[in-house]
Amino acid sequence: MLLCNATARAAQQVTIMISSVAPPLYIGADCRQVSCLFDRGLFQDRTPGELGLALPSTLDGAVQKRKAEFIAGRYCAREALAQLRGSDVTKGDTSCADTTIGIGANRTPLWPAGFVGSITHTHGYASAVVARRSKIRALGLDSETWIGPGSAENVSRQILTRREAYTDNLHLFESPLQYLTVVFSAKESLFKCLFPLVNRFFDFHAAIITPDASGSGANGSFRYELLEDLSAEFCAGFSGYGIYAVDDTYAHTAVMLKV
């Protein structure tokens, strides 16, 4: 893989705050995903520059946690773009095109022309997935730490529809908390995927998530179905599939729409 000069310099610094880990999901051959663990306590004002990145002015007054999350997510996104663009780099040329990822009006990432992607970060973990717009129309990626018993009842009311019951998925998930977290993450991924296309906010009750019976508590796929009209194209009844993977700390999900 050919990296740009800024990325190569950053590789010497990633152990300061960021350590790369294998992505937990295989989203598709047309996608590139990069994941990392990061220590927000090691974030310093000079960290973005050491990684060849920059904090936007909107985060000047943000707390250390928010700054560390932003930089970890943007680091993963830049590395994923560099991997995807590797085939476009002229042989012997270690430079690469601009990989700046801006911030949209709704705080969504602004990807370089010709690319789509999604970023997630939570409690020391960050990841990003990217693809060429010519092959993938939209992507949604999300990771969540396990929902605790103290907040489960409140989260359930906000997240689950009447048709989403843990009792229907006893053979797949170890506990109601595991099931709830996976459904929560799946709906976050669906929102990230569809929001750029419908350009409107919608809540968790706008879709139903149904894990595939052939999966397991560790990984599998799920079907989503919209319960309300989001646009002329994405209306009630529209459905598709996503994937999930879980470990001792996180639940990971992704949704992809092909061209």
Per the structure, the count of domains in the chain is 2
Between 91 and 188, the higher pLDDT residue? 188
Adjacent-strand bridge partners of 34: 128
Q: Which of 140, 160, 191 is the last residue of a domain?
A: 140
Q: Does 86 lie in the same domain as 14?
A: yes
Q: Does 125 lie in the same domain as 10?
A: yes
In a domain, 20, yes or no: yes
User: How would residue 20 be classed by pLDDT, with cut points 50, 70 and 90?
Assistant: very high
Between 201 and 104, the higher pLDDT residue? 201
In a domain, 10, yes or no: yes
User: How would residue 102 be classed by pLDDT, with cut points 50, 70 and 90?
Assistant: confident
Q: Which of 120, 140, 160 is the last residue of a domain?
A: 140
Q: Does 118 lie in the same domain as 25?
A: yes
Dist. CA 185–CA 119, nearest whole Å: 13
pLDDT at 176 over 90: yes
Q: Does 223 lie in the same domain as 115?
A: no
Q: Does 131 lie in the same domain as 39?
A: yes
**Amino acid symbol at 35:** S
Instruction: Quote the percentage of the chain above a pLDDT of 70.
Output: 89
Lowest mean pLDDT of 46-50, 122-126, 225-229, name the range: 46-50
Residues 6+ apart with CB under 8 A from 81: 32, 99, 101, 112, 115, 117, 130
Phi, psi of 175 (to 5 degrees): -160, 165
DSSP 8-state secondary structure symbol assigned to residue 44: -
- Cα separations (Å) of 195 from 64, 106, 219, 233? 28, 10, 25, 13
User: How would residue 11 be classed by pLDDT, with cut points 50, 70 and 90?
Assistant: very low
Residue range(s) defining the domain that contains residue 73: 5-140
Q: Does 100 lie in the same domain as 166?
A: no
User: How would residue 256 be classed by pLDDT, with cut points 50, 70 and 90?
Assistant: very high
Task: Say how many C-beta atoms besides its own lie within 10 A of residue 152's C-beta.
Answer: 16
Dist. CA 173–CA 218, nearest whole Å: 8
**pLDDT tens string 22-63:** 999 999 999 999 999 999 999 998 999 999 999 998 898 999
Q: Does 74 lie in the same domain as 152?
A: no
What does the pLDDT read at residue 122? 95
In a domain, 17, yes or no: yes
Between 102 and 23, the higher pLDDT residue? 23
What does the pLDDT read at residue 10? 47
Dist. CA 196–CA 258, nearest whole Å: 14
Q: Does 135 lie in the same domain as 50?
A: yes
Q: Does 108 lie in the same domain as 133?
A: yes
Between 7 and 27, the higher pLDDT residue? 27
What's the rounded mean pLDDT across residues 84-106? Answer: 63
Q: Does 159 lie in the same domain as 203?
A: yes
In a domain, 90, yes or no: yes
What does the pLDDT read at residue 14? 45
What does the pLDDT read at residue 248? 93
pLDDT at 237 over 70: yes
Q: Does 198 lie in the same domain as 221?
A: yes
Between 4 and 253, the higher pLDDT residue? 253
Q: Does 112 lie in the same domain as 190?
A: no
User: How would residue 106 be classed by pLDDT, with cut points 50, 70 and 90?
Assistant: confident
Q: Which of 82, 112, 140 is the last residue of a domain?
A: 140
What does the pLDDT read at residue 257? 98
In a domain, 187, yes or no: yes
Dist. CA 98–CA 75, nearest whole Å: 14
Dist. CA 39–CA 169, nearest whole Å: 35
In a domain, 257, yes or no: no
What does the pLDDT read at residue 97? 52
pLDDT at 1 over 80: no
Dist. CA 205–CA 150, nearest whole Å: 22
**pLDDT tens string 181-207:** 999 999 999 999 999 999 999 999 999
In a domain, 259, yes or no: no
CATH number at residue 112: 3.90.470.20
| Token pair for 105 | 């009006």
What does the pLDDT read at residue 86? 81
In a domain, 255, yes or no: no
SS3 label, residue 76: helix
- The b/e string for 76-113 (b: 16+ C-beta within 10 A; e otherwise) is bbbbbbbbbbeeebeeeeeebeebebeeeeeeebebbe
